[in-house]
Amino acid sequence: MKFRFMSRLGLVAAIFLALPSAASAADKVKAVASFSILGDMVAQVGGDRVDVATLVGPNGDAHVFSPTPADAKALASADVFFVNGLGFEGWIERLKRSSGFRGEVVVASGGVKPLTVDEEGADTVDPHAWQDLANGKIYVANIRDALIAADPDGKSVYEANAAKYLDAIAGEDRAVKAALDALLAARRKIITSHDAFGYFGAAYGIEIIAPQGVSTDSEASAQDVAKIIRQIKKAKVPAVFIETVTDPRLLDQIARETGAKIGGALYSDALSEPDGPAPTYLDMFRHNVEAITQALSY
């Protein structure tokens, strides 16, 4: 009996010793972000207190994403679900229903002033608000407030992480403006595949021309492409950029027919893999702005 008692004690001690790490993993806030750029922002603010799963990963196209049963399962056990909103993720409602998720859905773009574009006579909301760093600061404030609501004990951590991150975003915003302000007015125009840089262009004074609309869910028509080619020749647009989330063939054709050079690849709707040139939101800006300034400088 004595032996048995001791072994039970040993077992209890082992469980007790294992508890601190097991408890801290279980205590983490489980967040799901709809796409990689937002996932990075949540991770920056959440730090060690938050586990972030991202549905549409690096180089993925969130416009035309089809969630899998594994995505529904990941969402079902989450505490908070961060989405961009502005019509970016048309698959959210369906996924929410199929997963049975009952937690908080946080629209990171809440409070952003939306831009609209005219697409075939209809005003369409442009969802790519993160491409203006001033909007990125609004996203971060929304993420901070949502994490505090989900995990009040972490308030001071989230506030400190967010303050540091907001400073870094403000610094990057100044750097982007300084780099792009140096370009000549006549060179400040680029072509991209789909219309993902409207907020970027409005914030930083670059004219953006795109054969495809604000989503990638429909192809550009032959008439659209012919019109763009005339526009590029007339406006003497110096460079076209392929995007990592769209098929490059259309842009190759436009470059050939107009003589505009290919200025490289821009990250619009997704980050790169961790070892690529744009593994974080701020790295994405550094990469894009460097590619744009190189292509548009004399």
Stretch that binds Zn ion, among 174-182, 196-204, 258-266, 288-296 (CB under 5 A): 196-204
Provide, rounded to whole angstroms, the least separation between the CB of residue 128 and Zn ion.
6
Are the CB atoms for 201 and 275 separated by under 8 Å?
Answer: no
Position among 42, 196, 255, 292 found at the interface with Zn ion (CB under 5 A): 196
d(CA 296, CA 274): 28
Q: In terms of CB distance, is 126 or 172 closer to Zn ion? A: 126
269 is a contact residue toward Zn ion (CB under 5 A): yes
CB of 159 to Zn ion, least distance (A): 31
Residue nearer to Zn ion on the CB measure, 172 or 269: 269
Contact region with Zn ion (CB under 5 A), list: 2-10, 104-112, 141-149, 267-275: 267-275
Q: How far is the CB of 120 from Zn ion (least distance, A)?
A: 17
Compare residues 132 and 269 and give the one whose CB is closer to Zn ion: 269
| CB closer to Zn ion out of 29 and 55 | 55
Min dist CB 27 to Zn ion, Å, is 36
- CA–CA separation, 107 and 179 (whole Å): 31
Q: Does 40 bind Zn ion (CB under 5 A)?
A: no
Query: Could you tell me how many residues of this chain bind Zn ion (CB under 5 A)?
Result: 2
**How is 167-236 classified by DSSP, letter by letter?**
HHHHHHHHHHHHHHHTS-GGG-EEEESBS--HHHHHHHT-EEE-SB-SSSSSPPPHHHHHHHHHHHHHHT
Piece of 19-27, 106-114, 137-145, 264-272 that binds Zn ion (CB under 5 A): 264-272
Rounded CA-CA distance 215/91 in Å is: 13
Amino acid at 83: V
Q: Are 89 and 54 in contact (CB under 8 A)?
A: no
Q: Are 46 and 33 in contact (CB under 8 A)?
A: no
For residue 245, the minimal CB distance to Zn ion (Å) is 7
Least distance from Zn ion to the Cβ atom of residue 184, Å = 28
Residue 253, CA distances (Å) to 88, 222, 226 in order: 27, 12, 11
Please tell me the distance from the alpha carbon of residue 93 to that of residue 91, in angstroms, as a whole number: 6
The residues of the shown chain that bind Zn ion, judged by CB under 5 A, are: 196, 269
